[in-house]
Homo-oligomer: A and B are copies of this chain.
Amino acid sequence: MFESAEIGHAIDKATYDAAVPDLREALLQAQYRLKAQAKFPVLILINGIEGAGKGETIKLLNEWMDPRLIRVDSFDVPSDEELSHPPAWRFWRRLPPKGHTGIFFGNWYSKMLEDRVHGRIKGAELKLATARAQRLERMLCDEGMLIFKFWFHLSKDQMNARLDSLKNDPLHSWRISPLDWQQSKTYDKFVRYGEQILRLSSRDFAPWYVVEGADERYRSLTVGRILLEGLQAALAAAEQPGQSVAQPHSAPLQVDLDHLSLLDSLDLSQKLDKDNYQQQLAEEQARLSRLLRDRRLRKRGVLALFEGHDAAGKGSAIRRVTGALDPRMYRTVQIAAPTDEERAQPWLWRFWRNVPERGKFTIFDRSWYGRVLVERVEGFCTPEEWLRAYSEINDFEEQLVDADIVLVKFWLSIDKKTQLKRFKEREDTAFKRFKITDEDWRNRERWDDYGHAVADMVDRTSTEIAPWTLVEANDKRFARVKVLRTLNEALEAAIEKGR
């Protein structure tokens, strides 16, 4: 969930200085249009890692925009008066009216997260609290409110560096929070439960935006752009005559400011020589065969799914997985266009029918992620449909994991040059020609669109219960061994946990 926010996004000063004046001007204009329309309010929730620039961003927004139309509230220790009312009362009294913007620094999420981190509530209570938050937000959105939820993120190293620098700065030492962030365990818990909250509460009507907080310029421009584009879309929608009250959430899920995407951050030069490959492949295949026969896995299903660029080698990686297995031990499901019968059902139905039962191993060659990849990019479904698909997928996978299914998800990644080479090879080799179609060439033209869709997908569906594994697949040998090893490690972890 935080993958794209740990890759070192940064913006240089010149680019930043060039971009800010227009952004500020546009934000101000949007703000005045919001005030003039007076049709809906805007609420910005600020959460995330200590030191990731939450406070700085709020200050900046007040500087960039007209502060008379923004109200910042921080909800820290509740007042006596607040304590003597129902918990939500303190938020209700601070809601921004139509035409205005409210920034909640510390909000319903910070409370439940801190309670969970400090062991004051258990897992079930956190889930109930998230469900309550979701009902509240649903109601606010039904009443017209436009909600932005920002999670400011730092990797653990980034956070430690940041806290160290603050500690030595007498001007900023007040910033050290009461939470003992120096403890490595606190960070881990915060991120773990934070991820859980984000997974359960990121919905199409009020999605979370995760922003890498290390570089101030990147962080500021990103927040500004997301706000601007979301606001402009909502303002335009509110001007339509027959417009429904609920605001469409049309901010981009990520803004591509520094052209550094999650996939670009992979080291695709990793390889394995032939000897090493053959040895490791044989070892991992034997290990897989042994693990799948382990009686402690008998009560669990196993599901491995493969997505990836065209020609990234999904098929050949799958063949290496199944290579050492008895055909009765696994089943491969090829996902292509849905049948008529499948089209007459909710979109997840065709995947539900192929969920492995206890003790079985199912491999999905492409999967439900087509909804947020090809269907999104090619326009086979509406933005509303693929936007809500992220939470539908997370709900679906939660059920798989709750039913003790070991779920392993692979994205096989290659670069554009490697793809071209492989496409040409396919065209030049008679027995491979069936593998290359006009569609592959068309998809290739949308390389960048697919890249954004993949980054959104990983950011929104790589969860603590069902993480993505990104596989560097320029070298097929490296990719195959990494796939097998990851799968084996997941199975071992499952056996270990089941003890």
Q: Which residues of A contact B (CB under 8 A)?
A: 38, 41, 81, 83-89, 92-93, 95, 97-99, 124-125, 127-128, 131, 135-136, 139-140, 142-143, 145, 245, 301, 341, 343-349, 352-353, 355, 357-359, 385, 388, 392, 395, 399-400, 402-403, 405
Q: Is the CB of B399 within 8 A of A86?
A: yes
Work out how many copies of this chain go into the complex: 2
Known: A81-B357, A92-B352, A99-B344. 8 other contacts (CB 8 A): A84-B301, A84-B357, A84-B359, A85-B358, A97-B345, A124-B125, A139-B395, A143-B346
Query: A128, A135, A359, A385 — which one has the most chain B CB atoms within 10 A of its CB?
Result: A135
Contacts of A92 in B (CB 8 A): 348-349, 352-353
Q: Is the CB of A357 within 8 A of B85?
A: yes
Nearest neighbor of A360 in chain B, beta-carbon distance: B84
Could you give 14 example pairs across A and B, Cβ below 8 Å?
A: A41-B344, A84-B301, A84-B357, A85-B355, A85-B403, A86-B399, A89-B352, A92-B352, A95-B346, A95-B349, A124-B128, A139-B388, A139-B395, A145-B346
Q: A92-B352, A131-B131, A353-B93 are in contact. Are A86 and B139 (CB under 8 A)?
A: no
Question: In the bound complex, how far is the Cα of B396 from the Cα of A139, in angstroms?
Answer: 11
Contacts of A88 in B (CB 8 A): 352, 399
Contacts of A402 in B (CB 8 A): 86
Q: Is the CB of A403 within 8 A of B128?
A: no
Pick the contact of A87: B145, B388, B399 (CB < 8 A).
B399
Smallest CB separation, A386 vs chain B (Å)? 12
Contacts of A347 in B (CB 8 A): 143
Q: Is the CB of B341 within 8 A of A97?
A: yes
Contacts of A399 in B (CB 8 A): 86-88
Q: A139-B346, A346-B140 are in contact. Are A86 and B355 (CB under 8 A)?
A: yes
